[in-house]
Structure 1
Amino acid sequence: MSFTKPGLKYLLVASVFFITMQRKSYGGAFPVRPGSWLLSPSVNYFFANKGWDSLRRLSPFANGGQFTSLSYSLYTEYGLSRRFTLVGQLPFVNNHYHDNTGYDNRTNGFTDMEIGIRYYAFNINYIYYFSVQGTFIQPLYTNNINLGYGEQGAEVKVSFGGSGHVLGRNYYFTIDNGVRQYFGSSGPLQDRYTGTVGLTLDRRFKQQISATIGGFYSTSSLSGGYDPAHIAANKNFAFNQVSLSYGYSFTRKISLFISAGKFINGRNTGDGSSVSASLILRPF
C-alpha cells in the first residue's frame, strides 16, 4: 500500500516528536535549581518521500510525493523549589506536501501547547536522579487535522538520569517514558520513550556528543484500520528512530546543540530524516 496525500498527519506527529527528542541532549532528568530559568528555542527540518503501511511494508509515496516540515519550538523550565519545576513547550510548524500530479498542499500554525509540573522525587548521592512529570496538552488550532488531533490531553512521564566517568571522560545518560491520553471520544493512548547517552570531549566541558534512540506508539480502540483516504479516523501508528547530537557550550549560560536523526522502522507512518538545532539559554 502506498502513502497518499492524507498521510500528512502521521508525518506531522513524527516531525514534532523529533523536536521533543532534542531536549534529551542536555538531560531533562537533571534538576533545575530554585529560581533558575532554562529557555530553549529550536528549529527542525524534516523530510520524507516514502513510508510504512499498516503491515510495516516500506514503499515510496504515490506519484512521487514528498513531505517537508520546518518546525520551531520554544521549551522552558523554571525552578520553583528544590523538588518542583514548571515546564512548558510551544511548537509552530510549516508543512508542505507535493507530488507529480501538481498537487501542492501547505499548512502552517501553532500545534499543541504543553504546560506541566516536574517533581524531582529523589537522587542517589547527587549522581542519579529520578523525576515524575505531569503535563496538560492544549491545542492552539481548530478543525485542522494537519496540525494535530484538536483535542485536549494529559501525559505522565517518568525520567531517570545519571552521570559518571569512563575512559577519562565524563558521561551522562537519561531514560524517559511518557504515557499520553487525549480526551476526545476516540482520543488515542500514546507511549513515547527515549534513551540518551552523552560523552564530554574536553576537560573544560565545552564539547559533548550524544546518541539517542526513541520511539512513539499510538493506539485507539475506536479507530478503524489504516485508510489513507480518511486519515483523521486512524490513530494507530508507531515508529522508532535514532539521532546523533553535538553540543558546544559558549559560556555557562549559552549552549548550542546540532542533531541529525533517521527513522529505522515504523507502521502507518513516513520514513523520515531530520536535522535540528537547539539553543540552551540560562538567563538566571
Structure 2
Amino acid sequence: MFNLRKLLISQRSKPTLAVIGASAAAILSSGLANAGAWVPKQGEGYNKLAYAYYEADEFRGDNDNFSEFIGENTSFYGEYGLGNNFAVYGQLLYQSLEQTDANNVKQTNNGFGDAEIGIRYQWQADPFVLSTSFLAKLPYLYDEDDDLALGNGQEDYELRVLLGKSLNQYGYLGAEFGYRYRSGAPSDEYRYLLEYGFSVNNNLYLRTKLDGVLSAENADSNASDTNANLLVVPEFDSGKWELTAGWTFDSSSKNKWGLELTYTQDIYGKNTLEGDSIQLGLTRVF
C-alpha cells in the first residue's frame, strides 16, 4: 500500500503517512510478505532487503524431543507496477537454521528457501480498495531430503482477496483472506491478515498486524513427517502478532529510502513453534 503512503508523504500540510503494506510476513515462515491492497502505478515499486533473527524454545504440539530452534534469514522482497492496475511481486530467502533436541543434539542447515512470486490486480479504489492476488511458491533451491530441510519441498498456489481503507490523518486499515493449495502431502491452508498503520510525522510511521494460518485439515493421511524442521510440519495453525516502526529518510525525494524495525511474536497456534523474532530492513519506495 505504498501508493497511499506516497500520496500522504507529499501532503506536508497533513501529519499523515500511510504505512507501506509491503512488509515481511511471519518471519522464517513460507508466507510471502504481502504488499497490501494498494497496487503501484506503472514503473513504480517497492524493495526491502532485511535480516531477521528468530528463536523458539516451545512447541505447541506433541513433541517431547524438542529443546530449541534458532533461525536467521536474509530476505529480498520486491514489487513493480505493470500498469492497468497490475503489479508483480516476489521474495527470495536465504536461511541459516539450528534445531536442538532434548538430548542436546543439534541439526543445522543453510541455503536458499522457497522462492515466491505473485501477481496482484486492483479492482477498485473507492469507497475502499479491493484487490486480488495469485501467488506461487517454488521449492527448487534446496534439497527436500535434507534432515533439516529448508522447506516442505512442494509447490503451493494461493488466491487472496485484499481490502484496504484510508482513514486519512488516522492512518489506514487492511484485511486479507486467502486459500493456499499445497500440491504435496501437507494440508491446504486458510490465510488471514488484519493490519493497522499510521504516521507520527513525515518520517516516522508505525504498523501492527495479525497474520494467521488455519489448516484445512486435509493433509495426506499417509504422509510421514520425515523433515525435522518444526517450522514446516504438514499440518498446523498459527497466529503471529507484528509491530513495526519505520523511518523514511527523505520523504520529498522520488526514491524514498528508509529503515524498518519489526518485532514478531507467535501468540497462538497448534502444532507449531512458539517464539519471537526481530527484523531490521532497508526499504526503498520509487
TM-score bracket for this pair, using the shorter chain length = 0.7 to 0.9
**Aligned pair 1:16/2:28, yes or no?**
yes
CA distance in 2, matches of 1:230, 1:149: 8
Question: 8 Å contact 2:142–2:149 — kept in the other structure?
Answer: no
Give the AA of the match of 1:50.
Answer: E
Equivalent residue for 1:217? 214
Structure 1 residue 226 displacement after superposition: 11
Distance 1:32 1:115, change over 3 A: same
Question: 8 Å contact 1:225–1:234 — kept in the other structure?
Answer: no
Structure 1 residue 279 displacement after superposition: 2.2
Which among 147, 151, 158 is matched to residue 150 of structure 2? 147
Taking the TM superposition and a 5 Å limit, the aligned residue runs for 1:134-173 are: 134-139=134-139, 140-142=141-143, 143-144=145-146, 146-165=149-168, 169-173=169-173
* TM-score relative to the length of structure 2: 0.79
* Larger RCO, structures 1/2 (Cα 8 Å, 6+ apart): 1
Question: 8 Å contact 1:98–1:104 — kept in the other structure?
Answer: yes
1:95-147 CA distances to partner (integer Å, 9 max, x unpaired)?
Answer: 1112563411111111111111111111105xx31111111221122323621
Higher helix content, 1 or 2: 1
Question: 8 Å contact 1:224–1:234 — kept in the other structure?
Answer: no
Q: Which has the larger displacement, 148-157 or 211-220? A: 211-220
**Aligned pair 1:268/2:271, yes or no?**
yes
Equivalent residue for 1:259? 262
CA distance in 1, matches of 2:91, 2:56: 25
Distance 1:18 1:251, change over 3 A: farther
Equivalent residue for 1:239? 238
Question: 8 Å contact 2:26–2:240 — kept in the other structure?
Answer: no
Which among 22, 32, 39 is matched to residue 31 of structure 1? 39
Give the AA of the match of 2:142.
Answer: Y
CA distance in 2, matches of 1:53, 1:101: 18
CA distance in 2, matches of 1:195, 1:187: 25
Which among 68, 73, 79 is matched to residue 71 of structure 1? 73
Distance 1:223 1:18, change over 3 A: closer
RMSD over aligned CA atoms reads 2.8
**Aligned pair 1:86/2:88, yes or no?**
yes
Equivalent residue for 1:53? 61
* TM-score relative to the length of structure 1: 0.79
Q: Which runs of 5+ in 2 are unaligned?
A: 1-24
Distance 1:39 1:236, change over 3 A: same
Distance 1:228 1:152, change over 3 A: closer
CA distance in 2, matches of 1:94, 1:73: 12
Give the AA of the match of 1:104.
Answer: K
Equivalent residue for 1:250? 249
Question: 8 Å contact 1:19–1:42 — kept in the other structure?
Answer: no
Give the AA of the match of 2:36.
Answer: G
CA distance in 2, matches of 1:152, 1:66: 28
1:68-114 CA distances to partner (integer Å, 9 max, x unpaired)?
Answer: 10012111111110310111111121111125634111111111111
CA distance in 1, matches of 2:114, 2:227: 22
Give the AA of the match of 1:32.
Answer: P
Q: Which runs of 5+ in 1 are unaligned?
A: 1-12
Distance 1:30 1:234, change over 3 A: closer
Structure 1 residue 187 displacement after superposition: 4.0
Equivalent residue for 1:195? 194
CA distance in 2, matches of 1:68, 1:141: 19
Paired residues in the alignment total: 253
Distance 1:248 1:14, change over 3 A: closer
Structure 1 residue 192 displacement after superposition: 2.1
CA distance in 1, matches of 2:191, 2:111: 23
